[in-house]
Amino acid sequence: MTALLAVSGLVAGYGKKTVVRGVDLAVQANEIVVVLGHNGAGKTTLLRTVFGLIRPQSGRVVFDGRDITGRSPSANIADGLALVPQGHGIFRTLTVRQNLELGGFVVTDRRVMAERMAQAFALFPILQERQQQIGGTLSGGQQQMLAIGMALMSGPRLLILDEPSIGLAPLLVERVMSSVREINRTLGTTILLVEQNLKHGLAIAARAVVLNRGSKLYDGDPAELADERKLLEMF
């Protein structure tokens, strides 16, 4: 089986500073993979490099069998990747509907645009109710749903989510996590997720990866990490 996403020997950082230190990572089609690790471990840097926001110092990113290393985010979106950045990344002064439309900027067919919008509304009915509300005035949970809805507007095959549950009340964390699962199940979208909530991250994923200071420490069955001793070894 060829992986939908295959990262090999990825080294990336900021200027001369190296943050991600030779990471190999494969995500199979339809899989949910969770990336765990301490603050500053390099999780966001890894996702941003995969998505094309950071050019790697070395290593390769292969998507659907094609080398996309260093390709621009807009080309990646057009090809089926989408990133929900840490801290939402919505347009705070635009309405919910305008945000969704911008999320679908690569969509040229109006019918497809309407279908995707309906899909986002089915997943998050609150967005339909609040279509005309200004994004920045939504609650934290609603903003996160909007950010995910925006990413879905481009019809991604690989949805990359950077800590979607951060700062949310427990009930909302459950809500967002079950939406991620629903997206995976009903749309067949492959998911690469960074999550600081271990319980939820491990529960949702088919595979877990632990990053420590930019290196991969673990890659395997999430159930194994549910064992506290194993987890203590990791963290």
Ligand X SMILES: Nc1ncnc2c1ncn2[C@@H]1O[C@H](COP(=O)(O)OP(=O)(O)OP(=O)(O)O)[C@@H](O)[C@H]1O
Q: Which residues bind ligand X (CB under 6 A)?
A: 14, 17, 19, 37, 39-45, 86
**Cβ closest to ligand X, residue 26 vs residue 195:** 195
Residue with tokens 């507007």: 153
Q: Which does 45 bind (CB under 5 to 8 A by kind): ligand X, Mg ion, none?
A: ligand X
Whether 27 contacts 194, CB under 8 Å: no
d(CA 169, CA 79): 34
**Cβ closest to ligand X, residue 42 vs residue 164:** 42
DSSP classification of residue 92: T
R_g of the chain computed on alpha carbons: 17
44 sits near Mg ion (criterion: CB under 5 A):
yes
- Kindly indicate which of the ranges 51-59, 80-88, 113-121, 137-145 contains the residues binding Mg ion, using the contact rule CB under 5 A: 80-88
Among 164, 166, 167, 202, which residue's Cα sits nearest to residue 180? 164
**Cβ closest to ligand X, residue 37 vs residue 103:** 37
Whether 161 contacts 192, CB under 8 Å: yes
49 sits near Mg ion (criterion: CB under 5 A):
no
Q: How far is the CB of 166 from ligand X (least distance, A)?
A: 8
d(CA 41, CA 55): 18
Q: Which does 40 bind (CB under 5 to 8 A by kind): ligand X, Mg ion, none?
A: ligand X
Residues within the interface to Mg ion (CB under 5 A)? 43-44, 86
